[in-house]
Amino acid sequence: MAQEHGALVVSVEHRFFGESQPFAGDKAGPLATGHLAFSNSRQAINDLAQFTVWFQQERINAVHGLPADHFNTWVVVGGSYPGALASWYRLKFPHLSAGSHSASGVVRAILNYTQFDEQVAAAAGEECADALRSVVAALEAGLPGSKALLNATALTNDGDFFYLVADSMAESVQYAHRDALCDAVTPPFRAGKPALAAYVSFVQEVFFGQMGNSAADYDTQALADPRTGGNGRSWWWFKCSEVGFWQVAPSSGSIRSAAVDYEYHRGVCSRVFGRAALPEIEATNTYYGSNVTAGTYTFYDNGVQDPWRWAGVQKPVAGAGVGVNVIDCDGCAHCQSLYTPSDSDPPQLTADRNMLRQAYKTWVARGNGQ
């Protein structure tokens, strides 16, 4: 899109993630709970507004000899939580942007997000989902020894371990590795044999090896340390304080272990941050409008198999220039429209990108504003 419109792409890091630490060097740790009071989505979009004005003045106008009041046409883009930020930025700062692409934007805060696991089961299909349930049962029966199979003996909290197990399945569906997962566990299950060994091989080769995850990512004892908690601690702060997204096991038909329940999530918030209060879900949804936002000139798309889709905009909403599309194809999952296009893309994904391309033309033609 940038090439088509002769545009500059600028990528901004979120405060309290990566190197963007407002309290870097603090003896208590840059991610001390007291510091994280300044970590929230409202502050994040205000950062983006301030950055936009600064970049326009200092890196465009001053460098190219343009008038001080010159303002280029800006389009904001993001996927997942950044997709929500892109939508919220457009809603709150319409004069600083012409349009927004919210790919799999999680704009609806949810406390007990049982639909997440239900969508994983639906996307996997009945036979694969049953195979995954059998794997979880085998891991539960094999405790504590089963932790060694996933390099997870350091996870002393069983909930942490089964959160790892749940993510190894859910993220594989979420990030278009569903076929690899199901192709591994379904054949032995169909033959009446244990699927555990095939699952372990998949985790080691794909979830750890290709996707870059590790068992250490799920150690809430490590997350509790503000000096070493890293991006995981920063993201859990959002889950505990503002957006929830607690991926709680459904009461029936759950793939994930029942150990990953409401009390587990509340316990993480208590152990990691000393926080007893629940996330401010209603305040977040009231401030931004949830998935019935009043924002304008925004394109929302979601993959039909994405477990995050239920936190996004999937139905038409009032507002000028708002486009909504669910990419309904086999394998279409999280932030799929942001992937590099290829000749093997399903036609539904190509159609979505064509809708987006038309939206860009409209945004650029109209310029910044309401």
Residues known to be catalytic: 80, 306, 334
Q: For the sheet containing 323-327, what is the strand order?
A: 75-79, 99-103, 298-303, 323-327
Contact criterion met (CB below 8 Å) for 82 and 12 = no
What's the alpha-carbon Rg for the chain, to the nearest Å?
A: 22
Answer for the pair 113, 120: CB distance below 8 angstroms, yes or no: no
Q: Are 55 and 61 in contact (CB under 8 A)?
A: no
Q: Token match 């490590």: residue?
A: 222
Task: Kindly tell me the burial class for residue 243, based on how many C-beta atoms sit within 10 Å of its own C-beta (0-12, 13-18, 19 or more).
Answer: buried
Report CA torsion sign: 38, 40, 44, 50: negative
What b/e sequence results for 116-132 when a residue is b if at least 16 CB atoms lie within 10 Å of its CB, and e otherwise?
Answer: bbbbbbbbbeeebbbbb
DSSP string, 129-187: HHHHHHHHHHHHHTTTGGGGGGT-TT--SHHHHHHHHHHHHHHHHHTT-HHHHHHHHHH
Q: Compute the CA torsion angle 88, 53, 365, 107 (nearest 10 deg).
A: -10
